[in-house]
Structure 1
């Protein structure tokens, strides 16, 4: 972005944030905040130790002044409280009370004459709704990992974020990210998991299989590792749209999904769910947790899953298996160490068809195809097997410093073969084979952060300094593809689109040659950040990262197959990137912000059809300006974000070389609503409007055009209505609109917009100390036939149902 535009945009974004806040700043709309409710049994003890223990468990940023806390003893905390309520209970009789800053952090202030002032949140919160629960309208208060900054209140994060809670995942019978992206108003599903890959998504105008970044409990992993992530052992999903470089290290500009693993419970919890994911595909999921010893020094969580059967698409089968365990070791009040390990298998037979329509060939209308039929072969397959293990520790060194450390490693093997239908004419197609030997990947990710909570005069600080990094190594066989055997040939010849012939699998043999390192990558990210609270209204987040990216690539597979010389590419680049956020809270329930953030990402690798195939381009830097408003009105969270993202553009030029040239600039608006509109009605949804443009691409005439497979409008709403006359019964449903998408860079051809509907119900029956919940949902209720994008048909009407026993 030019300096002139930069100078013009920054003050206007700030003015807009304040302007948007002004009309909402009405005391009549004031809403008290509620945090997650949990059982506390904390004896009286040193005040600083007790408060830090509660704040750590509740994910509350607490800045303690040692002089205030020194020599004071906390009151005992026994019972059901939210996090803030538990802190207030511990402060009873100490002559101190909590004071909330504009960034959502808390500090201590002395009460005049030792009087007890009324807290901003009820001390006894036993009746408050659990964070992210259906009773709370799925409105989550807290984010577990805002990257390196750690836990923060969702309303006070100066980034566009949303939280998908465990109960929302359960009640919508979500078994993969596909369903999450379908319902989220800021995400557009790009590639379904039934195609054999990890879920792919378009966010903020950036589409493609590598557009989504992945983290597990705040640790970064590659996009390919997402095939080994399951919803069933996930506590919540934290979705950030836009750049995340300052928070998580090198990343693409679209957005990031952070999986938060289910942690041990300290009360006995047992849950067994028997369900149907569509067609004849059934699953059994067990979720168990509790204390190992009476004192709760050790606690566990165990999730097991088995799933198998034919899906709603004819001849397609899906099998999953998982065992996932987590262990907490509460060494003392100041140190907690957590462990986790898992083994997962994900197998698909009869992959969803990846359609290719060459230039000049008319695309068939979706209604002329059958969305419940398989246009590939039933022997096409995708297998993923993943083993993971991790350890993390949170150690409060003293009243000022806390040390956070985490490390995780995973090893996974992918193997897949598919037949991708390729149009020959408007009415005929072929099924060329794309077969690949197993690919083995090892990844490691770690972080080490030191947090310091202190005051300098009237300013409150929560400073973080530390390191985050990850490595990956990918091994492939030299005979990775069956070429010149069956690769790219059609086993069915050319057939009419009204036919889906099945034939036997041709014979080929691959994956028996030498196994070599195909690519490796390493990123090292050193960070310094500070959340500075000036007063109750104003705060800022200032940060800087020094990022190093090392990469090695050798495209020996296609070089050997096509008798070309091998291409090795190495680079080692570093970049310093800033983050600047200004946060203004005119009233307690309203947050406005302006954020500037930069993101460094690894360079793209030239595709196999480029003259420089296998060459890795240099790392590239993207920039983002964002202005946002977040308001808690009653029991509903409203968010609005306006953004501008500018990133380098990659393409194959007219000479046949893959180059980095030109820019892509995306402007847009995201609006969302989450919570209870009335005591009976819950609404989760929103709208996204985009203006994405390619600048200085391969063809000058296409400058200013929109990128392919990106919808400029998304509008989605999911809702639940509780039938008060029948306690436990709720009707559910949703409507999901995706605007038209261009299929070519010249923007001459496009896919029509589409809207799909869901309808369902849920009934929860309580029996003494147990409960049974029945759920049913029909996705794509009207059996709408549509193109999801240039490559995939939308899913058919699918009936899902389940029964869950909690005891």
Structure 2
């Protein structure tokens, strides 16, 4: 039975005994309910107004309600929620409400009975108005968070909007256990539990996302997506090779059953302006064809002199109900981002002390320019055999071009001298072009056998990454000082750098292919106990070919290859329900990472093997309005490549390698999200994480992941006021973390605490005003990156504000 928030209607019954229904009916109330599941909206209106609502649960199953915003009587709010649903409102003689089919329908209705509707397991967060996700799809199929024996976090659309989160790097740095480190320019390095996550999922389809011949350039807007699902811990069952730190799944927006149009305008610090149109809904009378269109333009300067950014994003989606049990989805997104930016931050003084430069200092040239163009095609087909069995296939194709020319400043030696001398200008031109293609299909089914509830999932996926990259660079020592940087040096080009003294070009090609078969089995031998067993078999082929190019010649380097066949990745988990709300769990899984280094025998050394253990407690409280979790984890990674100093320099003129290194990541995660008090949506996540080299000839005993803080705490709350202030909402939160290290283990990057706030005002039922303020106390700090003495130290943003106006017309 479909039923969001089972006891909301029961609470309405209790309230109705204390207040006159007739009085409640006549009284105008302030409603601020976003578009969402019809059952949830009806429950919310009933709870707020103190009415009893009688309905047959099947009538509202799968139906959506438009936004209900403004000051109005409860009856009018109910009528507005039911618009276009094929249902009608009836007011009983006692002043209570019942919902029944419109006259042309014939479904049965039980009058005089308050039916309790089960909580929805729909994973969509758009329109829910909540920071607590009902369910996730990252593990294939749809499950509640409590059913998954690993740490899972969901950043909902409501939380993204409240915190004005528009890109993946910002979202990562406001999520439990994730670090969105600074890549090149606007680029992103995503990591969890000390390990990079370079394969990202789109609607559950994993693709290689951050492989470039030079640096980490990946960017990702979030305006196309309903939510961000994060699984922390080894994720080999989901995507084969990949990060032991976890997996990230971005789930896109789709056309809803009810029409909605939102126009948002923004204006903020540093001449930051934006305009977004988001429109969608049914495209035919039956609602079997639904569409979505998003257009976004975002232009901004920066706290850094001469920097600017322009991003144009477009998205279109169609969903077709081919039959009652079969849905086809098609979509395309396109993002074009241009910028002039500092591509590598500041150097430091010799010894690691930071240079006291203003945060506005620009180190590039006037001709610095980057253009990243990403076009993505999405398609999926889902067939539901019945309520228990479903088949789904999804595919993603992403093309990306990255063209840039940049001047960056670094030290010519090991740090800048005390007088500011020792500057080196590094000139780079990049021209990178890549195509990613991925396919995933799976079958999910539930059944009962041997008096036990069971669920199976079987599937397979395939991905291919190919690229055609080239870059050229020169390094030029200069008599300039770090306090007097030359922004007007001659403009550069690829051919010009090849003809420069010491100039060199590097054309290159990637070809990375992976396929795998996976499956899992869930069984309940006794009612409170669930056992989960799974496995994956993977095949992996990797090739990287590079050439050295100068003005007169081009020479091929040795090809780097790696092949793995039939690599098995096991998974085992157990979930024990202590009560309806609480469950304990434990899990074990492996993950493998191929390596390209070669041994003295000439063969590629065996893959890195990691073993992940996790023990935790999860809660779904207050009828699912609040999610909580606590987890202890340990991950041991073995077979890491280390130099074989006893084997001679027989590998391209250098030492070969052996699989002998070992590292460990361990710690604790704790999280709470959802409506912890009436009107208060809260997200709070704490992570304690240590990483260490257990066996390494050079680094044994040292910190392994230099940009992973030992302590991270992310908190944000948004409160909807009541009474005469019901049009006002306020938000407040902070991010705090302990220190990190530089790439060379010499630089110490101090920890920091940054506070953010928000004020929102519902001007009318159609217009919402908001102001977001970031870094309230103007904290000066450095962000996580490949921080080094000779460069790549980036300031975090100073205090800034963003004003927004959101217009949602009524239909």
| TM-score range for the pair, normalised by the shorter chain length | 0.7 to 0.9
- Residues matched between the structures, number: 693
TM-superposed deviation, 1:569:
2.5
The equivalent residue for 2:492 is: 507
The equivalent residue for 1:395 is: 383
Check if 1:267 corresponds to 2:252. Answer: no
TM-superposed deviation, 1:600:
2.3
Say if 1:311 and 1:317, in contact at 8 Å, map to a contact too: yes
The equivalent residue for 1:202 is: 191
In 2, distance between residues paired with 1:322 and 1:670? Answer: 35
In 1, distance between residues paired with 2:746 and 2:316? Answer: 52
Q: Residue deviations 1:599-623, cap 9 Å, x none?
A: 12343679xxxx99xx986542221
Correspondence list, 1:25-104, <5 A: 37-39=36-38
Q: Residue deviations 1:371-414, cap 9 Å, x none?
A: 23323334323221112112111112356642211112121111
TM-superposed deviation, 1:197:
5.0
The equivalent residue for 2:667 is: 668
Pair 1:167–1:683, CA change in 2 (3 A): closer
TM-superposed deviation, 1:342:
1.9
Pair 1:296–1:723, CA change in 2 (3 A): closer
Say if 1:326 and 1:341, in contact at 8 Å, map to a contact too: yes
Moved more, 266-275 or 528-537: 528-537
Say if 1:239 and 1:256, in contact at 8 Å, map to a contact too: yes
Correspondence list, 1:700-711, <5 A: 702-703=700-701, 705-711=703-709
The equivalent residue for 2:683 is: 684
Correspondence list, 1:440-519, <5 A: 440-477=433-470, 480-482=471-473, 487-489=474-476, 493-510=478-495, 518-519=509-510
Say if 1:136 and 1:676, in contact at 8 Å, map to a contact too: no
Larger Rg: 2
TM-superposed deviation, 1:265:
1.4
Pair 1:374–1:678, CA change in 2 (3 A): same
The equivalent residue for 1:4 is: none
Pair 1:711–1:354, CA change in 2 (3 A): same
Say if 1:581 and 1:595, in contact at 8 Å, map to a contact too: yes
The equivalent residue for 1:83 is: none
Correspondence list, 1:686-765, <5 A: 686-699=685-698, 702-703=700-701, 705-724=703-722, 725-743=724-742, 750-765=748-763
Q: Residue deviations 1:259-285, cap 9 Å, x none?
A: 111011121110111113641121111
Pair 1:798–1:289, CA change in 2 (3 A): same
Pair 1:525–1:347, CA change in 2 (3 A): same
Structure 2 counterpart of 1:772, from 767, 773, 785: 767
Pair 1:661–1:129, CA change in 2 (3 A): closer
Pair 1:223–1:410, CA change in 2 (3 A): closer
Pair 1:562–1:459, CA change in 2 (3 A): farther
TM-superposed deviation, 1:657:
4.5
In 2, distance between residues paired with 1:31 and 1:463? Answer: 37
Say if 2:327 and 2:383, in contact at 8 Å, map to a contact too: yes
Unaligned runs of 5+ residues in structure 2 are 1-6, 13-33, 41-56, 66-84, 90-98, 100-104, 212-216, 499-504
In 1, distance between residues paired with 2:543 and 2:142? Answer: 35
In 2, distance between residues paired with 1:653 and 1:405? Answer: 45
Query: What RMSD over aligned residues (CA atoms) do the two structures have, in Å?
Result: 4.0
- Provide the secondary structure at the position in 2 that maps to 1:306: strand
Higher relative contact order (CA 8 A, sep 6+): 1
Q: Residue deviations 1:644-665, cap 9 Å, x none?
A: 1112435667775574541110
Q: Residue deviations 1:330-380, cap 9 Å, x none?
A: 0111111111112221122123533455xx9223336x2222332333432
TM-superposed deviation, 1:732:
1.6
Say if 1:451 and 1:462, in contact at 8 Å, map to a contact too: yes
TM-superposed deviation, 1:777:
1.7
In 2, distance between residues paired with 1:94 and 1:78? Answer: 11
The equivalent residue for 2:635 is: 645
What TM-score does the superposition give when structure 2 sets the normalisation length? Answer: 0.77
Structure 2 counterpart of 1:223, from 209, 227, 242: 209
Say if 1:646 and 1:666, in contact at 8 Å, map to a contact too: yes
The equivalent residue for 1:12 is: none
In 1, distance between residues paired with 2:443 and 2:656? Answer: 42
- Provide the secondary structure at the position in 2 that maps to 1:529: strand
Structure 1 counterpart of 2:618, from 602, 611, 630: 630
Q: Residue deviations 1:512-531, cap 9 Å, x none?
A: 99997611011111012112
TM-superposed deviation, 1:415:
2.0
Say if 1:350 and 1:377, in contact at 8 Å, map to a contact too: no
Q: Residue deviations 1:553-608, cap 9 Å, x none?
A: 112247999976511123320311111110011101112111111112343679xx
Moved more, 400-409 or 259-268: 400-409
In 1, distance between residues paired with 2:597 and 2:729? Answer: 49
Q: Residue deviations 1:462-498, cap 9 Å, x none?
A: 2111211111111124xx314xxxx1225xx254444
Pair 1:742–1:312, CA change in 2 (3 A): closer
Pair 1:714–1:125, CA change in 2 (3 A): closer
Check if 1:236 corresponds to 2:230. Answer: no
What TM-score does the superposition give when structure 1 sets the normalisation length? Answer: 0.78
Pair 1:472–1:782, CA change in 2 (3 A): same
Say if 1:708 and 1:743, in contact at 8 Å, map to a contact too: yes
Pair 1:364–1:399, CA change in 2 (3 A): closer
Q: Residue deviations 1:108-135, cap 9 Å, x none?
A: xxxxxxxx9998xx32889x99975798
Say if 1:264 and 1:326, in contact at 8 Å, map to a contact too: yes
Correspondence list, 1:286-297, <5 A: 286-297=277-288
Pair 1:782–1:431, CA change in 2 (3 A): farther
- Provide the secondary structure at the position in 2 that maps to 1:522: strand
- Provide the secondary structure at the position in 2 that maps to 1:246: helix
TM-superposed deviation, 1:55:
8.2
Pair 1:302–1:220, CA change in 2 (3 A): same
Say if 2:741 and 2:747, in contact at 8 Å, map to a contact too: yes
The equivalent residue for 2:396 is: 408
